[in-house]
Amino acid sequence: MAERLVRGVDAARPAVPTLEQVAAKAGVSRSTASRAINGGLRVSPEALLAVEAAVADLGYSPNRAARSLVTRRTDSIALVVPEP
């Protein structure tokens, strides 16, 4: 019983940084942080640098599974090879 589950997640496991945490640390909105991470379109150079620093500090990496659900693309291909 030393390990406790909180909302189905192991409490001993470190939490994965979220986009909201990156935005808060950078002092920008969630949408600005998202734009900065996904290409820097319509983001001021100051905000871009702040988001990049927050990403590096927190160790944030985008969740590819979540992104594929939103975009409805997996950027994967399938290869079908017949057996001889």
Dump pLDDT digits (tens) for 6-62. Answer: 566 566 667 899 999 999 999 999 999 999 999 888 999 999 999 999 999 999 999
Q: Is residue 76 part of a domain?
A: no
> Which domain CATH number covers 36?
1.10.260.40
Q: Is residue 70 part of a domain?
A: no
- Per-residue confidence (pLDDT) for residue 9, from 0 to 100: 58
Contacts of 23 (CB under 8 A, 6+ apart): 29, 30, 32, 33, 51, 54
Q: Is residue 67 part of a domain?
A: no
Domain hosting residue 57, numbered range: 5-62
Contacts of 29 (CB under 8 A, 6+ apart): 23
Q: Is residue 33 part of a domain?
A: yes
What whole-number distance in Å separates Cα of residue 58 and Cα of residue 1?
A: 30
- Per-residue confidence (pLDDT) for residue 71, from 0 to 100: 87
Domain count, the chain: 1
Q: Is residue 72 part of a domain?
A: no
pLDDT grade for 66, boundaries at 50, 70 and 90: confident
User: In this model, does residue 4 exceed pLDDT 60?
Assistant: no
